[in-house]
């Protein structure tokens, strides 16, 4: 099962239709269909996309101002999920309502809170600053996976796969897999997770660096990222020519990446991502080039994880063998299990959100 | 589960190949494959489409007179389902037979009786007169649904959806949903069900009326139908210009519709339908126009019900909220449950078919 | 369930890439993904196609000499299935290994042993001699079935279906179904199964004989085959003009066929087959003609068995009615059940493989 008392990204800002558009946006999150409306005042509404009457999707109805009317029998719901009109029924019963979800936009990511609304706390949002920052430029990405979300978390928690899955794209050297990363448990205000620091000295620049600038020497590469619950990667990475002085960053490649995973169903996942370059470097073609490299590489991941998942479906009880490289993902899975256990337990008051706990 | 001791439509008359054709017709009804043969004498045979030997479909074999021969190992069955020849076997065992079903053609609908053959009673057939009547003209229709049959019954039992699902086709006014229908339990000889009477005064003529004749005023509309077990709608409907005297039907639109639902599997349904206009009005283009309007509207229903069903599959335990508009469908579901309970109970002798019970 | 302590064909020899190719071959057998490598020395390696670490298919990695490296995190496995390198891990744990399967090539068929490797015994291989014999010529065939393997065994164990399924191809007369075959239990060294002998005197030459030679008289046909566990058919068949003397084989059609079934999953099957003609008769066009006839006929089988399987899925508890023509398949299923029971029982030492038991 999934953690519920946390923020999940449901969409990029630009995916939600304008307030004066007739289009309705809906996406399944944690097996629940969720309708998102952009309100006239610029805010957002997130409602269960399932009429309380006969369970038809509200997104097949129509928007009326900041309300939505079911297209089956005409029930009309306001932004809180309350049914405010039911054709032929003078007094709408109080229990005629659909669930509404706390929703907040931060740096172009639209987050919904799928758990207890009273616990929703914006301090728990991840710091996806480069998604909307004057010093950073990117093109936003989205991929849909037909695999469970945890398998993709695993992938992102062990970059040794760059040497093999991404040999011809993001990797370019087996030294990435050979390097032993530093793994730390993190727990800032609300942001619980794992921090992974991997330095890879003196390797050829990876194939996709060529799109950014000509580099005629080996580089020292670094990948420093946090992977936070429920599934967000925030990464500072780059490479510096080995021929440059240690404090000379003038020719270094520097990138910041924000990626996040949202379970759709037990066996499918939404993946939102971007990799930013400094805004003062390059132009639109560089941004597009980085995006295309990322799409190519993330399709390599999806191919591999989908094949892995097919193998798991074939024999669901086949055990995995933990190895040293699994340090971060083992820690992350343990942390997730612990939080899940807390959500399940009756004494939920002991839940540690990381905010105000210390 | 489904009611078995009742008539289900398996096909329109014209769907069954001629007696001298090589083609074999088969359709799944209540999860059972059923083969239908038109006999040389004009009658029909309905057999289990599954050889008793190795379960191959007989419809993949060939017809031989009024018999059918399995295409796998050559067993030949007569119209009663008895195996009358088995290659290499001098004496065919008595138990070599497939099930045969009572079958009857009435007004172009071919009905099969899926329950106890001894109970099959033609007096229980619905009065689908306009499917074959000199005063009425129509073009027959068929749609396949990938949803359970009860969801489509629900749809047909609550016409408030016309205002929303069919806003641009059959509806044209929210007044349909506002009107409160009269709902009556019916139980004539064998025909148990619900009668729904809905009058909608002084509304714009619906978009599809334009295909029938120009009307420059509002109309008073009516929908008077019976919805009979297991799933047949028989409807008198129409509209009369409000400017005409109450007893002046000269410019009224009058229609008669017969529609029926036959479960295919737990999650799919056959839908046979027509909407007739008086034979003396219009020509083939009117008949075609009404048919096309109906197809367009019934695709709107199918889109909505399919989306509703997808939502139900996502969270099978999500409850529906009964509202005032559900009066007819709640009564119908209750009646169906009651009849199902009677079929399941050992004292089936207390079964009330509505024939001879009073 | 399936018999495990026996040989299954996983591929035709020519399907396995050369030792210097980058391509990797993988096929699912008994629900297990199996990777097959052709070694530099001409031998073969068969490994579980599922990395022990995170279960990714090794076949999505790359070959390195006679070893294979996983394409996810770079673990390298030798031909015994032992992990001999794991990036970033100085000492690879002993339990890091994938399963390896005994594998042997015999007459162009590559066999794997899915059970206890200690029991693998080449004396148990079937005598598929015509797959690789100077006196016989064929074109190898493969078909994939989306049905359980036993339904195809059934088909091959009762040739009465030739008269009906293959009326226009291999059959050509209802006399095949009328003829009563002799059925014998066989149990040579390891080869347990059923022998079926069917003589069909004085029938028209079947349609596909015309591709071989003009025959202007009726023929006496024969089909003599063994069907061995787990699912291999070895057949001598042919036809001789009835006008020729009993000992005159000069104008007879003579064929030898090897066919074998390998379960892929519970509901899908690999089918490897060939039908050979004497090498001194005809040329490449004859070989191709026989192959095309076989493909046409085997597609007729697949259509029928797939339709049969669909009927079985619709009502899984529908019983089959055993008839006289089922003699061979009933014996074979009984033999299989007996061997399965032996494999399941703790006292597996009593297993009779047929080798050295007498």
- Between CA A160 and CA A167 the distance in angstroms is 11
Asked whether residue C116 is domain-assigned, the answer is yes
Size of interface A-B (CB pairs under 8 A): 83
CB contact under 8 A, B320 and A54: yes
Same domain, B183 and B276: yes
The arithmetic mean of pLDDT across residues A165-194, rounded, is 89
pLDDT for the residue B189: 59
Same domain, B206 and B73: no
CB contact under 8 A, A32 and B160: no
**CATH code, domain with B147:** 3.90.380.10
- pLDDT tens for B150-179 read 999 999 999 999 999 999 888 888 999 999
> Residue written as tokens 């050369």?
C18
Same domain, C89 and C216: no
Chain C neighbors (3+ CB pairs < 8 Å):
A, B
- Between CA B253 and CA B257 the distance in angstroms is 13
pLDDT for the residue B357: 34
CB contact under 8 A, C73 and A177: yes
- Let me know: does B311 contact A50? Beta carbons within 8 Å: yes
pLDDT for the residue A145: 98
Total domains in the fold of chain A = 2
Same domain, B118 and B184: no
The arithmetic mean of pLDDT across residues B115-126, rounded, is 96
Same domain, B138 and B30: no
B92 CB contacts (<8 Å, ≥6 apart)? Answer: B83, B84, B85, B86
pLDDT for the residue B212: 77
Same domain, B45 and B22: yes
Same domain, A343 and A223: yes
Alpha-carbon distance B40 to nearest alpha carbon in chain A (angstroms): 48
- pLDDT tens for A258-289 read 999 999 999 999 999 999 999 998 889 999 99
- Let me know: does A121 contact A353? Beta carbons within 8 Å: yes
- Between CA B305 and CA B293 the distance in angstroms is 18
Alpha-carbon distance B219 to nearest alpha carbon in chain A (angstroms): 20
**CATH code, domain with B71:** 2.102.10.10
Q: Mark which of A93, A122, A151 sits at the end of a domain.
A: A122
Chain A neighbors (3+ CB pairs < 8 Å):
B, C
Size of interface B-C (CB pairs under 8 A): 83
pLDDT for the residue A111: 98
Asked whether residue C1 is domain-assigned, the answer is no
Q: Which domain holds residue C266?
A: 129-348
CB contact under 8 A, B86 and C323: yes
**Measured on CA atoms in the order C312, C318, C324, C326, is the torsion positive or negative?**
positive
CB contact under 8 A, B161 and A73: yes
C57 vs A179, A180, A307: nearest CB:
A307
pLDDT for the residue C129: 98
Chain B neighbors (3+ CB pairs < 8 Å):
A, C
Q: For the CA atoms of B113, B115, B118, B123, what is the dihedral angle to 10 degrees?
A: -40
CB contact under 8 A, A163 and C74: yes
Q: Distance from CA of residue B69 to its chain's centroid?
A: 30
Cis peptide before C237 (omega within 30 of 0): no
In A287-306, the residues whose Cβ lies within 8 Å of chain C are 303-304
Q: Which residues pair with C195 in a beta bridge?
A: C184, C226
The set of long-range contacts for C177-185, using a CB threshold of 8 Å and a minimum separation of 24, is C177/B73, C177/B74, C177/B87, C177/B88, C177/C325, C178/B87, C178/B88, C179/B88, C180/B88, C180/C324, C181/C223, C181/C327, C181/C328, C183/C327, C183/C328, C183/C331, C185/C331, C185/C335
- pLDDT tens for A95-114 read 999 999 999 999 999 999 99
Asked whether residue A105 is domain-assigned, the answer is yes
A89 vs B308, B315, B324: nearest CB:
B324
- Let me know: does C295 contact B63? Beta carbons within 8 Å: no
In a 10 Å sphere around its CB, with 0-12 CB exposed, 13-18 middle and 19+ buried, how is residue C94 labelled?
exposed
Alpha-carbon distance B143 to nearest alpha carbon in chain C (angstroms): 21
- Between CA C207 and CA C169 the distance in angstroms is 5
Query: Shortest CA distance to A258 belongs to which of A71, A148, A106, A44?
Result: A106
Chain B hits for A69, CB-CB cut-off 8 Å, are: 164
Rg of chain C over CA atoms, in angstroms? 22
Same domain, B283 and B145: yes
Q: Mark which of C122, C156, C187 sits at the end of a domain.
A: C122
- Between CA A287 and CA A107 the distance in angstroms is 18
In C135-154, the residues whose Cβ lies within 8 Å of chain B are 154
pLDDT for the residue C246: 82
CB contact under 8 A, B71 and C174: no
Q: H or E element: which one contains B137?
A: strand B136-137
Buried b (16+ CB within 10 A) or exposed e, A156-173: bbbbbbbbbbbbebbbbb
Same domain, B138 and B250: yes
Token digits for A123?
């301090």
Same domain, A157 and A278: yes
Chain C hits for A174, CB-CB cut-off 8 Å, are: 74, 87
- pLDDT tens for C263-301 read 999 999 999 999 999 999 888 999 999 999 999 999 999
Same domain, B66 and B31: yes
pLDDT for the residue A355: 40
Asked whether residue C357 is domain-assigned, the answer is no
- Between CA A47 and CA A69 the distance in angstroms is 12
pTM of the model: 0.94
A163 vs C31, C54, C87: nearest CB:
C87
pLDDT for the residue C356: 36
| Per-residue model confidence as pLDDT tens for chain C (358 residues) | 899 999 999 999 999 999 999 999 999 999 999 999 999 999 999 999 999 999 999 999 999 999 999 999 999 999 999 999 999 999 999 999 999 999 999 999 999 999 999 999 999 999 999 999 999 999 999 999 999 999 999 999 999 999 999 998 888 889 999 999 999 999 865 679 999 999 999 999 988 787 777 888 999 999 999 999 999 999 999 999 999 988 898 889 999 999 999 999 999 999 999 999 999 988 899 999 999 999 999 999 999 999 999 999 999 999 999 999 999 999 999 999 999 999 988 554 444 444 433 3
Query: Shortest CA distance to C323 belongs to which of B186, B90, B37?
Result: B90
- Between CA A197 and CA C350 the distance in angstroms is 59
Question: DSSP string of B305-334?
Answer: HHHHHHHHHHSTTPPP---GGGHHHHHHHH
Asked whether residue B358 is domain-assigned, the answer is no
- Between CA C231 and CA C109 the distance in angstroms is 14
CB contact under 8 A, A320 and C54: yes
Asked whether residue B302 is domain-assigned, the answer is yes
Helical segments of chain A, H only: 149-157, 175-178, 284-314, 327-344
Asked whether residue B154 is domain-assigned, the answer is yes
- pLDDT tens for A6-50 read 999 999 999 999 999 999 999 999 999 999 999 999 999 999 999
Q: Mark which of C76, C99, C122 sits at the end of a domain.
A: C122
Cis peptide before B193 (omega within 30 of 0): no
Same domain, C212 and C196: yes
pLDDT for the residue C16: 98
The answer, for A234 touching chain C at a CB cutoff of 8 Å, is no
Q: Could you tell me the CA-to-CA distances from A308 to A234, A314, B154, B319, C96 in Å, in that order?
A: 25, 10, 43, 36, 17
Asked whether residue B167 is domain-assigned, the answer is yes
Q: H or E element: which one contains A141?
A: strand A141-145
Q: When comparing pLDDT for A209 and C189, which is higher?
A: A209
Chain B hits for A86, CB-CB cut-off 8 Å, are: 323-325
In B20-59, the residues whose Cβ lies within 8 Å of chain A are none
The arithmetic mean of pLDDT across residues B257-277, rounded, is 98
């Amino acid at each position: 099962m999934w953690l519920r008392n946390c923020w999940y990204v449901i969409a990029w800002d630009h995916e939600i239709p304008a307030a004066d558009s007739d289009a309705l946006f809906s996406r399944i999150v944690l097996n629940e269909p969720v309708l998102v409306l952009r309100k006239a005042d610029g805010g957002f509404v997130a409602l269960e996309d399932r009429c309380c009457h006969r369970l038809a999707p509200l997104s097949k109805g129509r928007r009326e101002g900041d309300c939505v009317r079911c297209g089956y029998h005409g029930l009309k719901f306001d932004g809180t999920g309350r049914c405010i009109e039911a054709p032929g029924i003078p007094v709408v019963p109080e229990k005629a309502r659909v669930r509404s979800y706390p929703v907040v936009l931060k740096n172009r990511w639209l987050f919904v809170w799928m758990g207890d609304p009273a616990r929703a706390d914006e301090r728990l949002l991840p710091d996806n600053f480069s998604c909307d920052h004057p010093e950073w430029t990117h093109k936003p990405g989205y991929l849909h996976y037909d695999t469970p979300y945890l398998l993709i978390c695993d992938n992102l928690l062990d970059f040794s796969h760059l040497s093999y899955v991404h040999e011809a794209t993001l990797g370019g050297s087996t030294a990435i897999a050979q390097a032993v990363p530093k793994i730390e448990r993190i727990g800032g205000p609300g942001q619980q997770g794992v921090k992974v620091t991997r330095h890879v000295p003196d390797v050829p620049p990876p194939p996709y660096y060529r799109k950014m600038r000509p580099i005629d020497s080996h580089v020292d590469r670094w990948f420093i990222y946090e992977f936070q619950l429920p599934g967000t990667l925030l990464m500072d990475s780059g490479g510096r020519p080995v021929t440059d002085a240690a404090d000379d960053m003038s020719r270094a490649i520097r990138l910041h990446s924000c990626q996040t995973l949202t379970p759709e169903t037990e066996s499918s996942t939404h993946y939102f991502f971007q990799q930013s370059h400094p805004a003062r470097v390059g132009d639109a073609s560089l941004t597009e080039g980085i995006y295309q490299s990322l799409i190519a590489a993330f399709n390599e991941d999806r191919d591999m994880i989908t094949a892995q998942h097919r193998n798991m479906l074939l024999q669901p009880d086949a055990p995995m063998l933990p190895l040293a490289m699994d340090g971060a993902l083992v820690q992350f899975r343990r942390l997730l299990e612990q939080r899940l256990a807390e959500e399940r337990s009756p004494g939920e008051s002991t839940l540690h959100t990381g905010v105000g706990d210390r």
